[in-house]
Every structure is written in C-alpha cells, then in structure tokens.
Amino acid sequence: MSALQKGPDEAAGGERRAPLLELRQVSVRYPVGGRRRLTAVDAVDLRVHEGETLGIIGESGSGKSTIARAVLGLAPVSSGKLLWQGEDVSGFDRAQRREFVQAVQMVFQDPHSALDPRRTIAQSVREPLDVMRRGVRGSRQEVAMQALADVGLTAEIAGRYPHQLSGGQKQRANIARALVTRPRLLICDESVAALDVALQAEILNLLQDLKVNYQLTIMFISHDLSVVAHLADRMNVVYLGQVVEDATTTSMVDQPRHPYSEALLSAQPHVNLHEETNRIVLTGDIPSPLDPPPGCRFHTRCQHAIDRCATTTPELTEALPDHWAACLRTEELYGLTGRAKELI
C-alpha cells in the first residue's frame, strides 16, 4: 500500500478545502437513435484531492472510462458541473481552459493505439507542447527528451516508431507524453490493463515514483481491484454509471459497506490465504445502460435484494466515518454504522 497522502484539510476533519477536481452530479448521455438516450454516467459526484491517488473501480461498461473522458472534454457532459479547484470548468475563458487542459492529462489503456503509428516517439511526446505552443521550439524537444528520460526511455528510443517498441516501452512513452505539460492531475484509464503482470508492476512502480517527482495527483481507473488497492488512497466503486461506494482504501478493503464492493473484494484472489472466505459470485452481466433497472441498479444481481430495492433509489450515505455507500440495507447487512457505534 502506498503511503496515505492526506491533504492537511482532511487530517483536520470538518470542512475540506476545495478539491483539485470535483464532479458534481455529472451525467453523460449519448443519443442512440429515436428519442432514446444512453446514460453512461448518471449524476456522479466525485472529488479528487490534491496529492491523493483516487482509484475508480468498476466492471466493463460501468462508465468509469466515460468519467475520465468527460473530465478531458472527450465525452459530452449533459448535466452537472465539473469544478477545477472549486471553479466551474464550463465558465473558463480561453487562457483558463488552456491551463486546465495542461493540468489534466491522460494515459490511455492501449499503449499501442494511443500513439500515432506514423510519428516517432519523440514527435508524439513533444506534440502536446507544440499544440499548446509552450516555450520555444528548441526547448520543447529538450522537455520531451527529459520526460522520456524520466520514464526510463533512452534517447535512442525517441527516434523510433511505435511498432518498434515493446508494450512496456510504448506505455512509458504514453506516460512521458502525458507529463510534458507538467500536469497536476494524471488520469490513468486502465493504463496497465493491456500489459502482462510483470510489466504492470513496473509501470505501477513508475507511476508511484513519478507521483512524487512530478507532484502528481492521480486518478486511476481500473477493473482490477488489486491494482487499485495497491495504488490508491481512496476508492470509488462505480456500477452502471453511478458511484455506489466511496471510501478510503483501507476502509473499503477491510469493511465494504455495499454488496457490490463486497462481491468485488471477495472475488479477488489471495496468495497467502489461510482463512476461508466465501467468494460471492455475481451472476449475469452488467445490465444495459440503455435500460437500467429501476430503484437500486444493482438489485438484479444482488444476493441481498429485497422488494424495496427495485423501487427505491438509494443515495450515497455515510455508513462509516468518511465512508459512503449507496445501499438501502447497509445497516441491516453490515451491522451498526461506525457513527452509531461511536454514539453508544
């Protein structure tokens, strides 16, 4: 587990300073012919604090990537607000917009297809600087080479084309490209999913190092719980376009307060496992976001679902101190909430 880097505001408790990035009731909807619309992200609230690593976890089709794309302006934000250091991004003027684009960079999932096959690595890595016209032309090349060096790529590789690199090298190049603008928030969308396990570890370690050296805040999106748990200070579990649980990694791993998170955690293989754990096997696939189930979206696959779950939509409520879950039966299922315990 990485060192928990809490902002001073959090340690103090009570009112928090404005998060670096905040999503307030953000929805992303796509028209899909006729009057139907696909709601990929549904009224999501999300906060990333300066210096922390936020893990976003969910299965394929849960909308976790769409959240990242919405932040970068690649997916349309249909409703809700995106706040950067407390300020509404939609109200930004050109200069602010530019600041924002430079400050938020993304590392994509597939290292190969994220690089233009007809450009050398050096050309790709310096491109953000060219696009944003940062610095003089000559110095851009230096910045790009420095970024490549920082991710562990030699100058020799800079002149090569993507197809001449290994998967790990390509992902390092992608990370270098994301770093040249000196971003404050790095969004990693399944950034190690396409790599084999040894390489995953290498890239994860690299990200940890870069986080310190570049003073990054990281939003790490993955379906792989072990990866997120290893890296993240805080985790958000996403199901069908909604955040169902939001807690610190320790709290989430030790005492999940939502049946979905619990199922995800139980499905995780343990190497040194002495005690028997009951693995909760979810049946079926994630329902279509075109026609999400009413009430709690998870009720169709939840082993604890009761009639009420199909009619009442649960809100994120504080189940434990600073641990939020959207389940109607949290208390029943997991006993008294932490807060209640404290009161006793």
Closest to another protein by CB, 112 or 223: 112
Of the candidate spans 56-64, 102-110, 216-224, 294-302, the one that interacts with another protein by CB under 8 A turns out to be 102-110
Contacts of 105 (CB under 8 A, 6+ apart): 128, 177, 178, 179, 181, 183, 185, 186, 187
Are 241 and 79 in contact, with CB atoms under 8 Å apart? no
Q: Are 55 and 222 in contact (CB under 8 A)?
A: yes
Min dist CB 178 to another protein, Å, is: 8
When computed from its CA atoms, the radius of gyration of the chain, rounded to whole angstroms, is 21
Which one, 35 or 163, has the nearer CB to another protein?
Answer: 163
Check residue 9 for interaction with another protein (CB under 8 A): no
Contacts of 272 (CB under 8 A, 6+ apart): none
The interface mask with another protein, positions 138-177, x = CB under 8 A, is ---------------------xxx-xx---------x--x
13 burial class (0-12, 13-18, 19+ CB within 10 angstroms)?
exposed
Q: CA 236, CA 57: separation in Å to the nearest integer? A: 6
- In the set 1, 74, 155, 306, which binds another protein (CB under 8 A)? 74
Which position among 31, 76, 86, 117 is part of the footprint of another protein (CB under 8 A)? 117
**Binding range to another protein, per CB under 8 A, among 32-40, 48-56, 127-135, 197-205:** 127-135
- Phi and psi torsions of 113, nearest 5°: -75, -10
Which C-beta is closer to another protein: that of 6 or that of 37? Answer: 37
Minimum CB–partner distance for residue 55 and another protein (Å)? 20
Q: Work out how close the CB of 4 gets to another protein at its nearest, in angstroms, rounded to a whole number.
A: 29
The answer to whether 114 contacts another protein (rule: CB under 8 A) is yes
Interface positions, 186-215, toward another protein (CB under 8 A): none
Sites for another protein among residues 220-279 (CB under 8 A) = none
What sign for the dihedral angle of Cα 19, 22, 190, 99?
A: negative
Strands (E), the chain: 21-31, 37-48, 53-57, 79-84, 87-88, 104-107, 185-189, 217-222, 234-239, 242-248, 317-320, 323-325
Residue 120 interacting with another protein (CB under 8 A): yes
Task: By CB under 8 A, name the binding residues for another protein.
Answer: 72-74, 98, 101-102, 105-106, 108-110, 113-120, 124, 127-128, 131-132, 159-161, 163-164, 174, 177, 181
